[in-house]
Chain A
């Protein structure tokens, strides 16, 4: 099973709303990631969790708040977003193999901020 699941698939929110994106994997991977992808662009890394600890924050605005409650779950809490934050938000998890990492992506949450 190489599945990463994400909910919801689509989300529309106003600039004053608070919402959360959820990601789950049961592959035993100990690294999980949030990416943001704008149309016709490659994914951009936002956060990396390694063994449930935040290890990388790529200078993401504080209106995005990640949380890793356990080794299988990853959340992204959203508050006071801007219209330019509208994008596809991708979760990934990875395993280490032969000295490298292979990332498996979820289907993404398509977010529209009005």
Chain B
């Protein structure tokens, strides 16, 4: 089982829809959870990061972490064509002398006008 699982899609939704993107993970040592957006041929751009279980909201984006289920989500409200991109979840844990950052495979999202 891979440490981080993310459905690669592609996911196609009409403009204005609510988008739900998800990742599951198996390593309970992960402490810090991030969502990145990557446009074609560009570097990943940090969208949201959370440390604890619960919800975090920023504009049209809501990140949700459920550590008990090892499940994280990113919701996009009122989706726009400009949201069309690949969305990568990422998780980290660090300890004495070690560091791990693991990305999901990314979900390709298309928002159709």
Contacts and interface: CB of A to CB of B under 8 A. Distances in A.
Q: Is the interface of B mostly helix, strand, loop or mixed?
A: strand
A57 interface: no
A106 B34 CA distance: 16
B44 interface: yes
Given A55-B99, A56-B99, A107-B43, A99 B51 contact: yes
Contact of A99 (B32, B41, B43, B88): B32
Nearest to A105: B43
Interface string B27-49: 00001101010000111111001
Contacts of A6: 43
A48 B99 contact: yes
A6 B1 CA distance: 35
B49 A102 contact: yes
Interface string A86-106: 001010000001111111111
Interface residues of B, number: 23
Contact of B44 (A2, A56, A90, A98): A90
A91 to B, nearest CB: 8
Contact of A101 (B32, B43, B103): B32
Interface stretch (A11-19, A37-45, A64-72, A77-85): A37-45
24 contacts: A41-B105, A43-B103, A88-B41, A88-B43, A90-B43, A90-B44, A98-B32, A100-B31, A100-B32, A100-B49, A100-B51, A100-B92, A100-B93, A101-B92, A101-B94, A101-B99, A102-B32, A103-B34, A103-B90, A103-B101, A104-B46, A107-B42, A108-B42, A110-B41
